[in-house]
Amino acid sequence: MWASPGLGVGERALSLTPPIVEGKLAEILASKLRDISAILEGEARTALLSPISRITPIAEVDIRTSIRPTVAVVNLGALRANAATVRKVAGRSSLWSVIKADAYGHGAVNVARALAGHTDGLAVSLVEEGLELRAARVAGPIMVLGAFYGRHHDDVVVQGLTPVVANGDDLARFSEAGARRGIPVDLHLKIDTGMSRLGLQPNELPSCLDQIRRSSTLRLAGVATHLACADGPTVEQTQEQLRRFRENLAKIRGEGFSPLMVHAANSAATLRFAEARFDAVRPGLALYGVAPSSPQEGEAPPPELRPVLSLRSRVMALRDIPAGEGVSYGWTWRARRPSRIGTLPIGYADGYPRHVQGAEVLLRGRRAPVVGAVCMDMLMLDLTDVPGASIDDEVTLIGQDGDHEITVDELAAWAGTISYEILCGISKRVPRQYVDS
């Protein structure tokens, strides 16, 4: 396992400002201090300037949370607890935590720092995601799963990212990059066993292995595949993919390539298919407290996972409307009785799905329906049956309020989508607040 030498989790947990804003604030502060120092002399000037060298581009308060009360709260303690749960299921397999897509909307840098010492490696989809982590001083192995490198093979090599390669052209480019930089390139080959998206097909494997063998810089460190149906209702498709994968592994080992890190299991396969765990597992969704599938007949229930993210806002306006009055664009909802309507400052631009049907929120320990079309920046609630509902009341859109809970899966069902899309869709304009409990 690795430990990040960068800022500790506790330090970053209070930092809620987006990087570009943080940098500007630090730059402005340092500039103002220098302006003042120009008119001071001696010890006074030294005392003023000495802290400047320690200024980091981090603001302790995100100004957005003092303007609009919409926030996503990320519990890093729950994240680590889920990592421990998945590790226990995985047994001897190493744990590579998938933090692509900004850690499924949870904030990749903060999640990476929180997992330092709790995971064997990190996995992203894009080169730029890996570079973002390195720029934030996140150490340890980082695997790039997406297998698209453009013209940035040198960046991957120099920054110590581990590329997953799916074609011979990229093998050649990584070989050249390693030679230019004088750095050996440890890479993983991706085998297409049925996803039909990326990966080497059986007829391409021999030539790619020959490329690696002839290169002075390439080293085959691992072999991977991706399972298309591990979260499905039947097991036959996954078993067939694993059979194909083992066939290709035998061919690779027969060519003298070993030892290798073999990996295939996403969250669903990690929890459901012991034979898919191989040397390493790549959980994503499970780390964030969402079960990737429901147990099928005869299967053991999945381990208990703790939701990591909650989405909250506050009532910004209240109005009483008569029966028959319409609400929101298109008047798709009309009041059947005199009703009290509350407005929240969150909409589809924040990632709350526009086309929810039958959606509810939690307020004062009760469920209240979302009514009318969700707007870009706001949505409306029917608070008629919530006694005492008031402006500034906290509203939970994902998470717990007392004995009640609205899960990511529940919101996804109302929106006719999947939990992955809900989490990844919470936009950058929603501040993330980090707690550790």
What CATH number did the domain enclosing 258 receive?
3.20.20.10
Q: Where are the beta strands (DSSP E) in 31-114?
A: 71-75, 94-98
266 and 158 fall within a common domain: yes
In a domain, 231, yes or no: yes
243 and 391 fall within a common domain: no
119 and 38 fall within a common domain: no
- Please, what's the largest Cα pairwise distance for the chain? 79
Q: How far is CA 236 from the centre of its chain?
A: 29
In a domain, 27, yes or no: yes
In a domain, 151, yes or no: yes
Average confidence score pLDDT of the chain: 90
Exactly one of 88, 149, 251, 329 is catalytic; which is it? 329
In a domain, 178, yes or no: yes
* CB within 8 Å of 234: residues ≥ 6 apart: 296
Domain housing 38 = 17-60
Count structural domains, the chain: 3
392: CATH: 2.40.37.10
In a domain, 256, yes or no: yes
Task: For residue 100, indicate whether it is catalytic.
Answer: yes
Bond prior to 5 in cis (omega within 30° of 0): no
Task: For residue 329, indicate whether it is catalytic.
Answer: yes
Of 46-50, 356-360, 395-399, the poorest mean pLDDT is in 46-50
172 and 280 fall within a common domain: yes
276 and 378 fall within a common domain: no
In a domain, 69, yes or no: no
178 and 278 fall within a common domain: yes
C-alpha distances (whole Å) from 150 to each of 129, 130, 154, 170 are 14, 14, 10, 9
Exactly one of 32, 88, 100, 428 is catalytic; which is it? 100
In a domain, 142, yes or no: yes
40 and 137 fall within a common domain: no
> How many Cα atoms sit within 13 Å of 293 on the Cβ side?
22
Q: What angle do CA 108, 111, 116 make, to 5 degrees?
A: 120
Instruction: Give the model confidence (pLDDT) of 367-416 as tens digits.
Output: 999 999 999 999 999 999 999 999 999 999 999 999 999 999 999 999 99
220 and 100 fall within a common domain: yes
pLDDT at 348: 98
81 and 227 fall within a common domain: yes
Q: Can you spell out the DSSP letters for 372-397?
A: S---SS-EEEE-TTSTT--TT-EEEE
Q: Which of 424, 305, 406, 308 is nearest to 75 (CA)?
A: 308
Residue 15 has pLDDT above 70, yes or no: no
Q: Are strands 339-344 and 317-321 parallel, antiparallel or unpaired?
A: antiparallel
pLDDT at 42: 53
In a domain, 420, yes or no: no
pLDDT at 136: 98
